[in-house]
């Protein structure tokens, strides 16, 4: 449950990146520690946005399969198992082309992807994932989409049932 302790539910590794919302004192040698879970999710949204941009430049599609293959490469993980579990938890097709994170219309699918990745990274069931923190992280990552997201959330029964 290191990701929970660190408020870093996707276990983003430490690097030269200066993350907004990172704790002043970083005591974990491998993973970033955030002030709150919302900031951990903000970082996850930002990483996904950078993947989208990189994939577009490389002529790749923004799919669960491509995202997880980059996130959890075979040199470090059982990537196929990770993909299989994400697809099962999220109910998203593995080769389905997803909207960019910065597009609020794609929030539903991508928030399910982030939820599924949280389950795998933290070893917790989906009912224990803080979906409000996922939404707060999105608001922090893309403040211009705040109203669109709030409208979407207000009308989305499926999201409330997670």
pLDDT on residue 13:
96
Enter the pTM of the model: 0.93
- Spatial contact of 83 and 94, defined as CB atoms under 8 Å apart: yes
Q: Give the pLDDT score at 1.
A: 86
Q: Count of alpha carbons within 13 Å of 16, Cβ hemisphere only?
A: 0
| Rounded percentage of the chain residues whose pLDDT exceeds 70 | 96
- Residue 41 to residue 43: CA distance in whole angstroms: 5
Q: Give the tokens for residue 49.
A: 């946005």
Tokens of 162: 């997670």
Residue 161 pLDDT > 50: no
The DSSP letter of residue 117 is H
pLDDT tens digits for 67-110? Answer: 999 999 999 999 999 999 999 999 998 889 999 999 998 899 99
pLDDT tens digits for 7-35?
999 999 999 999 999 999 999 999 999 99
Contact 138, 45 (CB under 8 A): yes
pLDDT at 44 over 70: yes
């Amino acid at each position: 449950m290191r990701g929970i302790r660190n408020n870093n539910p996707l276990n983003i590794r430490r690097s030269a990146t200066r993350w907004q919302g990172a704790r002043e004192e970083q005591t974990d040698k491998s993973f970033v520690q955030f002030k709150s879970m919302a900031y951990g999710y903000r970082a996850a949204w930002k990483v996904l946005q950078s993947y989208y941009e990189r994939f577009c430049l490389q002529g790749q599609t923004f799919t669960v399969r491509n995202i997880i293959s980059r996130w959890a490469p075979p040199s470090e993980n059982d990537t196929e198992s990770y993909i299989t579990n994400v697809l099962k938890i999220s109910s998203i097709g593995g080769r389905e082309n997803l909207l960019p994170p910065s597009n609020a219309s794609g929030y539903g699918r991508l928030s399910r992807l982030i939820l599924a990745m949280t389950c795998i990274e933290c070893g917790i069931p989906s009912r224990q994932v803080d979906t409000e923190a996922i939404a707060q992280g999105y608001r922090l990552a893309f403040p211009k989409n705040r109203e669109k997201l709030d409208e979407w959330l207000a009308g989305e029964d499926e999201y409330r049932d997670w």
